[in-house]
Structure 1
Amino acid sequence: MRHLIVLAGLTLGAIGVAEAADDRQLADAVAGRYQACGDRASLILPLARSGLDLVPLYANGYETQTVAGSPFDEQELDVRLREPQDLRAQLDAYLACETPIMRLSQGQALLAAAATEAHAGSAMVAFYQHGWSVGADELRGRDGVDGVADLSGGTLAVGPHAAGLDLLAEATRTGREQAGDAWEAPTIVMTDDASGGAGDTPERRLAADGEVDAALVASDASGDEPALLSTQSASRAVSGIYVVRQDYLEAHRDEIERLVTALFNAEEQVREDVTTQIVDWSTVAAHLLDDPEAGETARTLWRQVETVGVQGNVDWSRQDGGLRSFPRLNEEIAGELQAVGLLSDRPSLALAEMDYGALAEGVFDQRRAELSSFDPEAARALLSEQRQTGDIDGQTLVKFEIHFRPDQDRFPAREYAEDFAEVMDTAQRYGGALLTIEGHADPSLFLQRRSAGIPERLLEQHRENLQALSEARAASVRQSVLAFADDHDVRLDASQLVSEGLGISDPATGLCDGEPCPVSTAEERADNRRVVFRVVEIEAESEAFTPPTTW
């Protein structure tokens, strides 16, 4: 299928095709804006309409100009905060060096690369990760589009240079994996307004019957179409970052490092202030939303993000292929955006070489790296309810399995390294969802004994033995995955991984009148000897989900 990029500014009834990918159009729009950076009295720092930007607001004393005694002032910084702007406006100011820093998602940074790399001085260098969107962005589908695999060959509405492009990339990656050889890259329809305006927005395009199959929107966008994928579950998809011009970093590295130190200290204090309920949300709303009466909306923005602090930046800056590291995110997002025609090529974005641990001056509280996000008992109760109601398949975002030998209940890493790596990767991507580990057993011997007419009590004992074996398998796999992650210096939230033994209650060969169907071949027996991994979506308000951002 040809990849269509619809020209910005068109109405619903008038569709045209752009001649270039979105990154090239953006570069052409700002051509000629480049200027070298000169001396400046203060550093202009842009904000975004995100709960993550509560941190720089606090760091500046909740004012546009740096307040005495604030974290920025303590680092001898003179900072001016700039109101949230779209990518095009940020890029204009960045290339002219009105502000040498941009506040972006990593997908937006990839779109901006064609413009910024035209001159060596304005090439972007990423130096700080604020954190992740956790519920602020979602991909909604029309009736009949039940999952991301259904996006194959479809049409997706996207706002101009949207921050949520990272989520779009995750959706198409997952859809392609699920659809396999049948996958066909979707067509992208670019609207003239991102969301909330009076123009042609993605949510309006989705509401127009038959116009598009899905739309990338903010979670507070109008409309009641179901979410195919949300950052509530895919909570490691949309990464909010700062980038700085190469020439400015070379001339002012000490200033940028002091900025990072101030942000680390502010991030720690902000979380404590939210917990003790002393944040002035009206002031936050005035800066981020241009509406001091929108304090509750500002509070909601905070609930929809996860700041990562010191340890998060250490993990993000890993150059050895860390699962959610800056290099790996760029590689994945760029590949998907190029496949749908939004990128003309894959830029290689630079990462500042900083010792984040050394820059974390005065930051002592790094416990979030070890905190649990899920209540195990509440999670098990939720899963049990979903199984009883038959809803667990509908709540499953991703599903895969591994197989084993008869009576096996140990799973050494040397045999299952590839499978364990997939589990680690999945758990990291879907930090807001449960990852269940279901142990299953082969019912063939049970069926043989039942056919032989052995007493019911012995059959029940055999069923219980198979149940216990499946539980042991699931628990063993869970421990092996956690040990494998630890050996590879990958942080997994152990509370996210819930092991369950299902015995012979759900064999791969199916049920016949509530009991396992007859098993006649070695292949069928092998199919039943399995451990199934599910990524199970849960509601943000569920008692099973208690993310560290709530403390």
Structure 2
Amino acid sequence: MNRTSVLALACAVGLSGLLHAPAFAVEYTTARPLSQVVTAPVKACGTFPQLLMPGIAWGADEATILANGAVVTVPPTGKPFVVTQPGSIFAQEGLSVKFYREDSVIRQLEDLLACRTPFLRMTDGMLAQAGDVLSRIPVVAIYKLSDSVGGDVLVVRDRINELKDIKKVAMQVYGPHVAYFATLMKTAKVDLGSVQIVWVKDITEGDTSSQYPAKALREDPTVDAAFVISPDAAALMSDKTESGGVKGAHDLFSTKLCDTCIADLYVVRKDWADANPQTLQKVVHGLLRANEATQKLFAEKATRKDEFEKLMKASAKMLLDDVSLTGPAADMWGDLRMAGFRGNMQFFTDDAWPRNFNRVMQGAGEAMTALKLISKPATFATAALDYAALSTGLSDAAGVDVSRWNKVAVEALMRDRKQKGTENDGEKFYLAVPFKREEAKVDASLYVKEFDEVIDLAATYGGLLITITGHVDPQSYLKAKYGNGTPKQLSDIRQIANTISGKRAFALRDALLKYAESKGVPLDPNQFEIIGAGFMKSSKPGCKIENGDITVSCAASSALEMQSMRRAEIRAVNVTAEMEQFEAIVVKQ
């Protein structure tokens, strides 16, 4: 379960200048940029005997609830809240915090401007949409909670097979999917202006008055696609129309593939941060400790039932408005990946990382500018935190490397795909690198642009499998086959071809990994699948396979064509729908 109606920072005001569809049951919004909606004056910050800290209905906020002691207070009127309990992580940090949920981006911005709280809690894309508003009061980013990993989905009708096919898409105004959409379109090299966006005020159904993307896809036949949360995606893709299914609907992308496309963040007013550096340090250290404590509690929930139940009840009440929804509250944890200490270090301090804070915000800002939601991309600073001090007492600060990819499972999947002839289904990128006869060397300097693109894809789409397939030309084999070569001679040639093609694939992978490392971007070797195809995957048009073997139709017609067959190919392939799970493989350094 993910990004419920209470999650989405939903607000009833839409965005301007965008066309309406004909009258359907779903209601689309008119719209204005946030700078035209949030016009409250900026007020100076006073002292905070008790820090007010907003959250949203997102699984990562369960760690903040735990940091404060997981005891919910329900006032006679107003929203429930969690105040710091004796012995809690925030209490150990010397803090007094009142955690509350605020899902409206407009109210969060108004509270920030008035300094009722110095904190904002939103996604990177939402932050970019608030750029013009925040030009009036500088903020600094302090903490990355998590990435969405599977909880946000682009569902399309059966007539849609690629992003370029989409002519009209529905999504929530000021929601988490705008920058996500822009990232996908940029990767696919599709102009944002080629797609009409129809905006709805909610992200999912809260009551019968809700207007949300899944409803648009169900009720407006002119809508090709909708950005939805995972429960709505499951309903849309079900076979039962009475359960909300749309015939032929399928997922084109999800954040299981694009697993760095939506980051959840805390930012604070810079004037408050400058005046309270020690308090800010304690807040971030408490959040980091709470992240590890919550992950440990989930891992040990079978033996710590009372503690786990306490957190789930508090989370269900705070995030889902119903203390009985402990199961869905626990499920919310499954659609995200917590950033932790290392993730925060990489996101905020690693200039080489393709998806670092500055690059993510620049890309989001450019997209919002193109959509006329802001006047220009905003530049956001990061807080001057002492990461050496923040690492104290954290296990995530030790040398632990985690891979999402289970190599055994990947190999099994690719064997199955090979048998079905679907190895390249879901292809998102292709590059062919030529080789000379019997050569297996790659000069990375010849492929800088292409390698940079692969690095960016691997960093952005952690659920994208990168296959590297080596090939040789079939001339020697076909000459022997049709020239009375013996079975042993044919077998020997086939074995040599498989060996050379495998070496070419490994050489290309190693060159790419070495190049990435030279740029300070270590890639996960387990994200690469190496295939030595020999001469069985000829690039010759009309090549026919008979009885499991190539025929003379696969032979090169010229020396130039023969040279082109000596190659290794990089393909980035979406396999997330077929992988039941990505098992974390932890390697102690």
- TM normalised by structure 2 equals 0.84
8 A contact 2:28–2:199 mirrored in 1:
no
Count the aligned residue pairs: 532
- Compare 58-67 and 535-544 and name the one that shifted more: 535-544
Q: 2:195 is matched by which residue type in structure 1?
A: P
Q: 1:457 is matched by which residue type in structure 2?
A: K
- Counterpart of 1:489 in 2: which secondary structure? coil
Is 1:531 the counterpart of 2:568 in the alignment?
Answer: yes
Is 1:200 the counterpart of 2:219 in the alignment?
Answer: no
8 A contact 2:67–2:287 mirrored in 1:
yes
Is 1:465 the counterpart of 2:474 in the alignment?
Answer: no
- Counterpart of 1:103 in 2: which secondary structure? strand
| Counterpart Cα distance in 1 of 2:228 and 2:98 | 30
Residues 1:522 and 1:155: Cα distance change in structure 2 (over 3 Å): farther
Which residue of structure 2 lines up, in the alignment, with residue 217 of structure 1? 228
Residues 1:268 and 1:14: Cα distance change in structure 2 (over 3 Å): closer
| Counterpart Cα distance in 1 of 2:584 and 2:177 | 22
The offset of 1:453, in angstroms, is: 4.1
| Counterpart Cα distance in 2 of 1:69 and 1:206 | 49
Which residue of structure 2 lines up, in the alignment, with residue 345 of structure 1? 376
The offset of 1:194, in angstroms, is: 1.9
Question: Unaligned 5+ residue runs, structure 2?
Answer: 1-15, 72-81, 238-248
User: Of the candidates 395, 402, 413, which is equivalent to residue 426 of structure 2?
Assistant: 395
Which residue of structure 1 lines up, in the alignment, with residue 37 of structure 2? 29
Is 1:80 the counterpart of 2:111 in the alignment?
Answer: no
User: Of the candidates 486, 505, 508, which is equivalent to residue 536 of structure 2?
Assistant: 505
| Counterpart Cα distance in 2 of 1:423 and 1:369 | 24
User: Of the candidates 198, 210, 216, which is equivalent to residue 189 of structure 1?
Assistant: 198
Is 1:167 the counterpart of 2:180 in the alignment?
Answer: yes
| Counterpart Cα distance in 1 of 2:437 and 2:17 | 52
- Counterpart of 2:44 in 1: which secondary structure? coil
- Compare 446-455 and 138-147 and name the one that shifted more: 446-455
8 A contact 1:370–1:493 mirrored in 2:
no
| Counterpart Cα distance in 2 of 1:328 and 1:282 | 38
- 1:372-416 per-residue CA deviation (whole Å, 9 max, x = no partner) reads 222212211111101212333333344444333332212244444
Residues 1:517 and 1:464: Cα distance change in structure 2 (over 3 Å): same
8 A contact 2:259–2:461 mirrored in 1:
yes
| Counterpart Cα distance in 2 of 1:517 and 1:17 | 58
User: Of the candidates 293, 297, 320, which is equivalent to residue 269 of structure 1?
Assistant: 293
| Counterpart Cα distance in 1 of 2:26 and 2:577 | 37
| Counterpart Cα distance in 2 of 1:29 and 1:174 | 32
Residues 1:27 and 1:340: Cα distance change in structure 2 (over 3 Å): closer
The offset of 1:184, in angstroms, is: 5.4
| Counterpart Cα distance in 1 of 2:577 and 2:399 | 19
The offset of 1:235, in angstroms, is: 0.6
User: Of the candidates 40, 52, 67, which is equivalent to residue 48 of structure 2?
Assistant: 40
User: Of the candidates 91, 98, 101, which is equivalent to residue 116 of structure 2?
Assistant: 98
Q: 1:36 is matched by which residue type in structure 2?
A: A
| Counterpart Cα distance in 2 of 1:235 and 1:531 | 27
8 A contact 2:316–2:326 mirrored in 1:
yes
Which residue of structure 1 lines up, in the alignment, with residue 9 of structure 2? none
| Counterpart Cα distance in 1 of 2:517 and 2:342 | 15
| Counterpart Cα distance in 1 of 2:371 and 2:351 | 28
Question: Unaligned 5+ residue runs, structure 1?
Answer: none
8 A contact 1:128–1:242 mirrored in 2:
yes
Residues 1:184 and 1:471: Cα distance change in structure 2 (over 3 Å): farther
| Counterpart Cα distance in 2 of 1:525 and 1:124 | 59
- 1:237-277 per-residue CA deviation (whole Å, 9 max, x = no partner) reads 11111111122112212211111111111112221111111
- Counterpart of 2:197 in 1: which secondary structure? strand
The offset of 1:439, in angstroms, is: 1.7
User: Of the candidates 360, 367, 387, which is equivalent to residue 329 of structure 1?
Assistant: 360
Is 1:150 the counterpart of 2:165 in the alignment?
Answer: yes
- Compare 190-199 and 212-221 and name the one that shifted more: 190-199
Which residue of structure 1 lines up, in the alignment, with residue 60 of structure 2? 52
| Counterpart Cα distance in 2 of 1:31 and 1:543 | 48
**RMSD between aligned alpha carbons?**
2.6
Aligned counterparts, 1:209-248, within 5 A: 209-221=220-232, 222-224=235-237, 225-248=249-272
- 1:281-325 per-residue CA deviation (whole Å, 9 max, x = no partner) reads 232222221122222212221111111111111111136342110
Aligned counterparts, 1:355-366, within 5 A: 355-366=386-397
Which residue of structure 2 lines up, in the alignment, with residue 493 of structure 1? 524
Aligned counterparts, 1:371-386, within 5 A: 371-386=402-417
User: Of the candidates 153, 159, 178, which is equivalent to residue 138 of structure 1?
Assistant: 153
8 A contact 1:134–1:304 mirrored in 2:
yes
8 A contact 1:137–1:216 mirrored in 2:
yes
Q: 1:215 is matched by which residue type in structure 2?
A: A
The offset of 1:353, in angstroms, is: 2.7
- 1:469-509 per-residue CA deviation (whole Å, 9 max, x = no partner) reads 11111122223333333333323222222211112222222
| Counterpart Cα distance in 2 of 1:272 and 1:14 | 44
| Counterpart Cα distance in 1 of 2:540 and 2:558 | 11
Aligned counterparts, 1:297-308, within 5 A: 297-308=328-339
8 A contact 1:314–1:357 mirrored in 2:
no
Residues 1:319 and 1:5: Cα distance change in structure 2 (over 3 Å): farther
- TM normalised by structure 1 equals 0.89
| Counterpart Cα distance in 1 of 2:487 and 2:64 | 68
The offset of 1:344, in angstroms, is: 3.4
The offset of 1:528, in angstroms, is: 2.5
Residues 1:249 and 1:169: Cα distance change in structure 2 (over 3 Å): same
| Counterpart Cα distance in 2 of 1:75 and 1:547 | 31
The offset of 1:545, in angstroms, is: 1.5
The offset of 1:41, in angstroms, is: 1.6
Q: 2:362 is matched by which residue type in structure 1?
A: E
- Compare 316-325 and 251-260 and name the one that shifted more: 316-325
The offset of 1:205, in angstroms, is: 1.0
| Counterpart Cα distance in 1 of 2:331 and 2:578 | 13
The offset of 1:79, in angstroms, is: 0.8
| Counterpart Cα distance in 2 of 1:51 and 1:483 | 37
